[in-house]
Structure 1
Amino acid sequence: MKINLPAHDGTIQTYAMQHQEDAAPLATTPTFNRIAYAAAHVVVDPRAAYEPWGDAPRVDWDSTLAFREHLYSLGFKVAEAMDTAQRGMGIGWPTAAELIRRSVAHARTIPGADLACGAGTDHLDSTRRHSLSDIINAYNEQFEVVESAGGRPIMMASRALCAAARSADDYKNVYDAVISSSRNKVVLHWLGDAFDASLAGYWGSSDVQTAMATVLDIIRQHRSNIEGIKISLLNAEYERQLRSQLPEGVLMFTGDDYNYGDLIAGDSTGQSHALLGIFDPIAPVASRALVALAAGDLERYHQLIGPTISLSRELFVAPTQYYKAGVVFLAWLNGHQSHFSMAGGMQSARSVLHYADVFRKADTAGVLIRPDLARRRMGEFLNLHAGIENHK
């Protein structure tokens, strides 16, 4: 199969797809020797009346939950209502709260399904500064929603806290109050400013080593109440440093969408589990790779996971926060939803040339699980958005 795609030199080039057969379905749900959370996207309903640039889109609940079922069937846990679901970038707290309730209830109907849910402070008014007490109460309010629904909380980084805190002690006081009142073990979330510029200087310092010391103090104080920490700094060495200093029983969840292959495989300093947005679009390939890793076949693991790294780096290229557009684009190409529309109109955040690069790299990595459908939909997209014609 061939398709005409735009190239970086301004020409239109014919691309021959490497994979032409649909991916075979799995006979049974696989098992891994790493905990692997896939942060999942939300499918909106573009036929409904809502404000596309607002934060309360109409959600296609059937397609949204069906995609989570797809992830469970491949062996993944789900990280619900995280930044991959456009929290704070198209999805406001009321929609996120409904997503959490529905997703937890849905998971209960699926044998073996498991998830954890993002809880933050994003319902606070972003136009004013809040007290630490306000922030603690906001966290507790969202924790209550998660835990009352039967979910486990992921304590998301807080823009409000970053704006209000004046010292590392302010972070320690807030985290102490919230973690101590949680009914479940908590996953902490360190999201770097590449993903959200308003989180620059989180933990009270722009120096990573100083920030790391602060979060380690928090973890050591509450080690019995913390499942682990997700770190998303896009720097493998920082993750290895923090990983080597975690108390026994506290897990490292890589959120490094540039270097996850090696970090999950591990080395002499240890190994990382995973909580990744990239697992959403590469789930079928990542599942097979994690099965190989569990079987001790490191060569096969790297053979499968390696090509996905180039795709991930393209999806997460700066401005990194717009990576969600490529994630949903691939879900559409693969037939998980009937359209390419997003909350906040984020489908417009990337160029046609970027989507063409995503298509090429997804094909190379074996991520296009229905190649003929993907080619047809890519052709329709290029015709509509770039005037590039492709014959069926």
Structure 2
Amino acid sequence: MTAAIRLPGTDGGLRAYRPRSEPLTLPPGPAPRSRTVFAAAHVVADPFADVGPDTPAVLDWDATLAFRRHLWAHGLGVAEAMDTAQRGMGLDWAGAAELIRRSAAEARSLGGRIVCGAGTDHLPAAGNGRTYALDEIRRAYEEQLAVVEDAGARAVLMASRALAAAARDREDYLEIYGQLLRQAREPVVLHWLGPMFDPALEGYWGATDLDTATGTFLEVVAAHPDKVDGVKVSLLDARREIGLRRLLPDGVRCYTGDDFHYPELIAGDEQGFSHALLGVFDPLGPLAAHAVRTLDAGHMTGFRALLDPTAELSQHLFQAPTRFYKTGVVLLAWLAGHQDHFAMVGGQQSARSLPHLARAYELADTLGLFPDPKLAEDRIRALLAVYGVTG
């Protein structure tokens, strides 16, 4: 019998947890048919790079691309250079552009599905009362959109901090997005990222009232339905997402970005369902793909039986402050053997407490997510030892 591990809790004490000895075996498989499913993938930092808080991130390209091959092998699409890849939290535009080029080339060679984030994050952060003109923001979007399209990928138009700071009202959003959609070569995904993921995006679409903002968002889509593949909604509000997806034009997908309620949103109801573009599908990849293939076969009960138990882990990883969920995602990638270290660009491995990380391990191990449970156990013991927890 596996020896118990002493895991720290939020009460300041230690509790015993006995790891499971066998993983949940989920072989690679084809892409799901009934839903389009993307995992927003994390990046692997180079732990030996001599970098500081204000220097560009350096990636371990071999490990970063190997993780994407893992996702493709299980039938998932890859959403590249999104917030899970630490856009705006350690990964600069130069690094993101190289990531897009390399991942898109890898996708072509393997026949993998890929979409890539295009935004305005290469504009220096506004400050001291300085904001950008709308033309500057449009040109910034165009520069990144060109990189994505030249790489042969479809774009996700990410929400822009610069636009959130500069826009005076809904008309400014309609103008910028209208110009971008008219010139996009292929249909894009529009991304609405809520302030729980990035506080600088408060009031996006020209209003803090979400009903008003939703109206503007839908107006953008309705004006250019042939240029919108879908919308990614990351508001952690299932009721609002369901209401929005029922108002989308025919042929425009709703990709849930709700890492709290994704099982019910993907399952859908009598009036429709959501596809998925989720950060939590990074650690859940094989299980998530298997669950949706179960749904393909018409087994809703089996789908929910597989995916519902994962929600507790996801809610833990994405607990407030939500934007630091990447730390738990990378921890689980290390414990699962997808990388050799728990270092992150920007030093973000320190963004969550030891009790938070220990609970993430426990929940993931309970689900059977680690291909080699003994490796995961050894690694979590090593991490605990760094913090002074032995035995």
Contact 1:55 1:90 in 2 (8 A): no
Residues 227-242 of structure 1 correspond to what in structure 2 (within 5 A)? 227-242=229-244
Indicate if the aligned counterparts of 2:118 and 2:156 stay in contact, CA closer than 8 A: yes
Provide the rounded CA distance (Å) in 2 between the counterparts of 1:305 and 1:54. Answer: 40
The reply to whether residue 45 of structure 1 matches residue 46 of structure 2 is yes
Q: What are the residue-to-residue correspondences of 1:105-184 with 2, within 5 Å?
A: 105-110=105-110, 112-127=111-126, 128-184=130-186
Quick check: 2:115–2:156 contact (8 Å CA) kept in 1?
A: yes
Post-superposition offset of 1:32: 3.5
Q: Which residue of structure 1 lines up, in the alignment, with residue 274 of structure 2? A: 272
TM score, norm. by length of structure 1: 0.96
Unmatched runs of 5 consecutive residues or more in structure 2 = none
Which AA in structure 1 matches 2:99? L
Larger mean Cα displacement after TM superposition, 123-132 or 35-44: 123-132
Is 2:23–2:368's contact at 8 Å kept on the other side of the alignment? no
Where 2:378 maps in the other structure, the secondary structure is helix
Q: Distance between the aligned counterparts of 1:23 and 1:50, measured in 2?
A: 38
Equivalent in the alignment of 1:57: 57
Query: Contact between 1:32 and 1:75, CA under 8 Å: does it hold in 2?
Result: no
Matched with 1:357 is: 359
% identical aligned pairs: 50
**Distance in 2 between the 1:214 and 1:131 partners?**
21
Amino acid at match of 2:86: Q
Distance 2:206 2:299 in 1: 42
- The answer to whether the Cα contact below 8 Å between 1:42 and 1:59 also exists between their aligned partners in 2 is yes
Indicate which of 371, 380, 383 corresponds to 2:382: 380
What is the distance in 2 between the residues matched to 1:27 and 1:199?
A: 37
Counterpart in the other structure of 2:227:
225
Offset of 1:114 from its aligned partner?
1.1
Q: 1:329 to 1:91 in 2, by over 3 A?
A: same
For the 8 Å contact 1:23–1:370, the answer to whether it is kept is: no
SS in 2 for 1:108: helix
Aligned to 1:214: 216
CA RMSD of aligned residues (A): 1.1
Letter aligned with residue 92 of structure 1: D
What amino acid sits opposite 2:183 in the alignment? S
* Whole-angstrom CA distance in 2 between matches of 1:117 and 1:342: 21
Q: Does the residue aligned with 1:281 lie in a helix, a strand or coil?
A: coil
Are the aligned partners of 1:290 and 1:301 in contact in 2 as well (CA < 8 Å)? yes
- AA matched with 2:108: R
**Structure 2: distance between partners of 1:184 and 1:136:** 18
AA of the residue aligned to 2:384: L
Q: Is the 8 A contact 2:229 2:251 kept in 1?
A: yes
Whether the aligned pair in 2 keeps the contact of 1:3 and 1:14 (CA below 8 Å) is yes
Q: 2:318 aligns with which of 316, 337, 349?
A: 316
Summarize the Cα distance change of 1:182–1:77 in structure 2 as closer, same or farther, 3 Å threshold.
same
Match of residue 75 from structure 1: 75
- 1:6 lines up with 2:16 in the alignment: no
* CA contact 1:55–1:89 (8 Å) conserved in 2: no
Distance 1:97 1:27, change over 3 A: closer
Deviations 1:154-196 (A, max 9, x none): 0000000000000100000000011111111110000000000
Task: Report the alpha carbon displacement of residue 149 of structure 1 after superposing the two structures with TM.
Answer: 1.1
CA distance in 1, matches of 2:222, 2:313: 36
Supply the distance in 2 between the matched residues of 1:161 and 1:228 (Cα, whole angstroms).
21
Does structure 1 conserve the Cα–Cα contact (< 8 Å) formed by 2:256 and 2:276? yes
Structure 2: distance between partners of 1:375 and 1:125:
42
C-alpha distance in structure 2 between counterparts of 1:333 and 1:58, whole Å: 21
- SS at 2:383 equivalent: helix
Letter of the structure 1 residue corresponding to residue 56 of structure 2: A
Q: CA deviation at 1:287?
A: 1.5
Q: Partners in 1 of 2:54 and 2:289 — Cα distance? A: 35
Shift of 1:27: 5.5
Partner amino acid for 2:186?
N
Instruction: Call closer, same or farther: CA 1:29–1:6 in 2, change over 3 Å.
Output: same
Q: CA deviation at 1:360?
A: 1.3
Quote the Cα distance in structure 1 between the aligned partners of 2:276 and 2:241. Answer: 12
1:199 counterpart letter in structure 2: L
Question: Is the 2:24–2:367 contact (alpha carbons within 8 Å) kept by the matching residues of 1?
Answer: no
1:87 pairs with 2:93: no
